Structure 1
Amino acid sequence: DNIAPFEFIPWILGQCATIAEVKSLLDRINLINIDFSKELPLSPLHWIISDKEVSITVESVKAGLKIYDNPIGILTNNPTFDIQMFNLNNYINITKEVPENRFSSKLDLDIYSRGMGAIGLPGDLSSSSRFVKAAFTKLNSISGTSESESISQFFHILGSVNQERGCVRLAKDTYEITIYSSCCNTDKGIYYYKTYENSQITGIDLYNENLDSQILISYPLISGQHIKMQNR
């Protein structure tokens, strides 16, 4: 099956309900070098695909299409996923617990602050460091049982690796930012998002729409900040 990269995700989602079905389709896929348009050329994308149980990472590299089981459900950009996973070995001593003095029994070292078990956890804005930070945050975070608590916790996890305007320069007056963050409750069919300028979480109920329609349904991003004034 010859598929352009910009067709890849709808091609998968339109035919598969499980990762097992995805892997079967990927056995016969051939990604072809076709740009979406002159203004939107191909990008070296990495994809994460998940069902309710497991996730995989899909990467198109010079050696061909690589498919990795993704046990942590985290993905960033380059380097490739196998390198990102190997890099986690460098942080094997990072812990959410109060650390022990392993430096030397001859020194009386002090635990002077909470969170010192995570000293060494990357805080820079490179993709490899953000992979480590997101993996640690996700794997150690604890959510409540309600829908609201789960949504809140999800956006806190993503917020730990946000890109803020001004910290990564792309060009003279252009900076990399986290344009939007989003998640979906696949049981209820509700898509949640917030944007860089709007911290309020917005929801769209997919089951309120005609999912058999032949017409594309779209909603503009609510990008302006919404502030609730408590004393007015």
Structure 2
Amino acid sequence: MCTSIIFSPKDHYFGRNLDLEVSFGQQVIVTPRNYNFKFRKMPDMKKHFAMVGIALNAGNYPLYFDAANEKGLGMAGLNYPGNATYYKEKEGKDNIASFEFVPWVLGQCSNISEVKELLKNFNIIDLNFSDKMEASPLHWLIADKSGTSIVVETDKDGMHIYDNPVGCLTNNPQFSKQLFNLNNYADISPAMPKNNFSDKVNMDGYSRGLGSRNLPGGMDSESRFVRVAFNKFNAPHCETEEENVDNYFHILHSVEQQRGLDQVGPDAFEYTIYSDGTNLDKGIFYYTTYTNKQINVVDMNKEDLDSDKLITYELLTKPNFNHQN
């Protein structure tokens, strides 16, 4: 289970929470422009836009969970079990496996308009990365530095591309149903509620925050979708990078999963392994981990982006305590 957002206070910040019960040894990976992306059914992409994100380095191939490119386009794949459908190879189509989708898009597109044009000939194929690594059932949030975003879902009845007016995505159900469900929360507000019950009943505003009393607080994807959308739209917009990045992570951390609350098997609990975000305007990547809430920074612009070799950074997971006495 995961949550992804685009937050646009001044610059535009795109990223996600990755919620799983086990870590795969993922790293921060910068893929320079001349790294040779090999695709199973399409020609190699020897030159492309540079990108940064979190990926599993599988034999020198970056399996990106999420990433953003140097042009300010970001993309994240989120769990979509029971709905995600991958198709048979089709002649004349751009046949791309799900694990190739992120580099396929980020390697050659600068904005959402270009993504929509690219996807006109797109066919996502049912192909595993290897015998030991099956394709994950995913749908995707894609956003650019204008703040525009779309959702791509490949269901049993075909591929759907949704314009995303809220800039959020979690997991099941389908995005259109998640969006419709927001209608049930139109009365949620950061302000104290007005008495609409009856003018004959005197209501006692006994506590601050009553306007958000009915905001869902569960770990489930539908609750997280509502909560992250509300928190994102009501988060302050500040002037400095530090303030806006801090606000961005407060939004993601408001829907993070604590260990012990979401049981997915015997003695197995899903939790937020990492939260990350890229400033799409500047190419600066930020992340926190479950055990290290310090905001860590990897600036793509400080790397040799004309290289042909992957640049990797281990995630910093050790708790950081600042002793003041």
The answer to whether 1:187 aligns with 2:281 is yes
1:6-155 aligned at under 5 Å gives the runs: 6-53=99-146, 54-155=148-249
The count of residues paired between Structure 1 and Structure 2 equals: 231
In 1: Cα distance, 2:215 partner to 2:281 partner: 34
Question: Could you say what the CA RMSD is over the residues aligned between the two structures, in angstroms?
Answer: 0.9
Local SS of the residue matching 1:191: strand
The answer to whether 1:170 aligns with 2:264 is yes
1:4 to 97, 104, 117: 97
Unaligned runs of 5+ in 2: 1-93
Local SS of the residue matching 1:152: helix
Give percent identity, aligned residues only: 52
Local SS of the residue matching 1:219: strand
CA positional deviation for 1:187: 2.4
Letter in 2 for 1:6: F
The answer to whether 1:226 aligns with 2:312 is no
In 2: Cα distance, 1:114 partner to 1:201 partner: 30
CA positional deviation for 1:188: 2.2
In 2: Cα distance, 1:143 partner to 1:227 partner: 29
In 1: Cα distance, 2:300 partner to 2:145 partner: 18
TM-score of the aligned structures, taking structure 1 as reference length:
0.97
In 2: Cα distance, 1:52 partner to 1:205 partner: 17
Letter in 2 for 1:63: D
Structure ranking higher in strand proportion: 2
Structure ranking higher in helix proportion: 1
In 1: Cα distance, 2:150 partner to 2:310 partner: 28
Unaligned runs of 5+ in 1: none
In 2: Cα distance, 1:116 partner to 1:37 partner: 51
Letter in 2 for 1:57: V
Local SS of the residue matching 2:140: strand
Local SS of the residue matching 2:167: coil
In 2: Cα distance, 1:105 partner to 1:121 partner: 24
CA positional deviation for 1:143: 2.8
CA contact (8 A) 2:141 2:149 kept: yes
CA contact (8 A) 2:278 2:284 kept: yes
Once the two structures are superposed, residues 54-99 of structure 1 have per-residue CA deviations (whole angstroms, 9 ceiling, x without a partner) of: 0001111101111000111100011010000000001111112221
Q: Show structure 1 runs of 4+ deviating over 3 A.
A: none
CA positional deviation for 1:52: 1.4
Once the two structures are superposed, residues 8-29 of structure 1 have per-residue CA deviations (whole angstroms, 9 ceiling, x without a partner) of: 0110000000100000001110
